[in-house]
Amino acid sequence: MRVSISLIYLMFILLLGLVCAWAVYASGLSRAHEARRLDGDTYPTSIAVLDRLHRDAFLALRKGGLQQDAWVEKVDWQMMGGRVTIALASPDKAKAATIVKLVSAHPGVDEVTVRVVSDLKVRATARLKADGLDKYALVEGVRGRVPLVKLTDETPKTSAAVARSLGQVRGLLWRNAARTYFGNLRQMAVNALRSAGLGRLVRVGRADGRILHLQLASADSATAKKALKTAGAVPGVLRVQLSKISLDSEEAVTEAGACDLLLRAVKDGGRIRFLPRGSQIDKASHPLLDRIAKAISRCKKFIVEVGGHMDKSRRGTRAVRDSGNRANAVVDYLVTKGIERRRLRAQAYGGRQPLASNATDAGRKRNRRIEFKTIAAGGGR
């Protein structure tokens, strides 16, 4: 009989221990689940104590107009009551004191801790970079919890991708993000390079978001460094990639813009001269025309226009006639160097497109010129 009573007592003790262990385990699960639910800004709707404390703290921040500066980071329970941790996006002592006062006023709250989080911009930038979206968006700053985001374009696809990425940064009110847009980064880079005197040697190709692709028709390392520095200084540009077009190579050039760049670079600093009052080419210009013929031979896919320009000292039809005669003389010379005539077009512009004032000798000399540019595809067989 005594053995039975002892056995029953022992079983009762074991059962009580199991119940207590399960209660502790369930409490741990509940708190872990609660911590996961409290990660976001949406407050729970259950009637549990921690839910109520979280909701009360959230409403206190909203009542004080502080929801864009702070969020409820954590709620747990200690011996004397609830402990609430509030994250504040700026080291503002006045706001911190207001938060403590507002949240402490709610029943059940025993302790309020305010933790300053000042790295939201860094975390948002890192998130965009990790998702490969930093070439389409830039986090310029954070106003409280609201990110100031600048995008390369207004397409819904880009906006949605950036929103999804920023939504993973805890504490960031990405739905309220202040969105602005970059201008035409490619055109801004073109203007900057022209202002730096590099427009004839450097071409801005496609822009992949905030990444610019430059083509350089020069072997000069100083020119390359200057081009990279100039384009990289354009506001919003993330990085610049540079490729070079060799002037001495015989490799085919397959892009019209690259052909124009090659022709400008070959002619850069050189001038095609003619004998006075005529269209006969000065022999001193033959070496330059030989280099131009070699460049045109690399642009097999394109038709090249040879444009003749005059100053306005020769008026009307005379200027057009003289400019046309000079353009045709250049075409004839290039044909003798192996360029197919069907790939060349002579164009007479007369004095319609001056580069400088015709009031000075220097200006008129500059306006009398021959220019080359690709005008169409179809030069190849």
Sequence ranges of the domains in the chain: 35-116, 120-181, 185-244, 248-381
Whole-number pLDDT of residue 380: 52
Q: What's the CA gap between 154 and 157, in Å, rounded? A: 9
What residues of the chain score a pLDDT lower than 50?
Answer: 28-29, 31-47, 381
Give the per-residue pLDDT at 23: 64
What is the per-residue pLDDT across 190-201, written as a single tens digit (0 to 9) for each?
A: 999 989 988 888
pLDDT value at residue 32: 42
Name the amino acid, one letter, at 307.
Answer: G
> What pLDDT, on a 0 to 100 scale, did the predictor assign at position 36?
41
Polymer length in residues for the chain: 381
248-381 CATH choice from 3.30.1330.60, 3.40.50.1820, 3.60.20.10, 3.40.630.30: 3.30.1330.60
pLDDT number for residue 34:
45
> Residue 52 to residues 49, 65, 76, 108: CA-CA distances in angstroms?
5, 20, 11, 9
d(CA 215, CA 218): 9
CATH class of 35-116: alpha beta
| Confidence (pLDDT) at 208 | 86
CATH class belonging to 185-244: alpha beta
Spell out a b/e string for 139-156, using b for 16 or more CB atoms within 10 Å of the CB, else e. Answer: beebebbbbbbbbbeeee
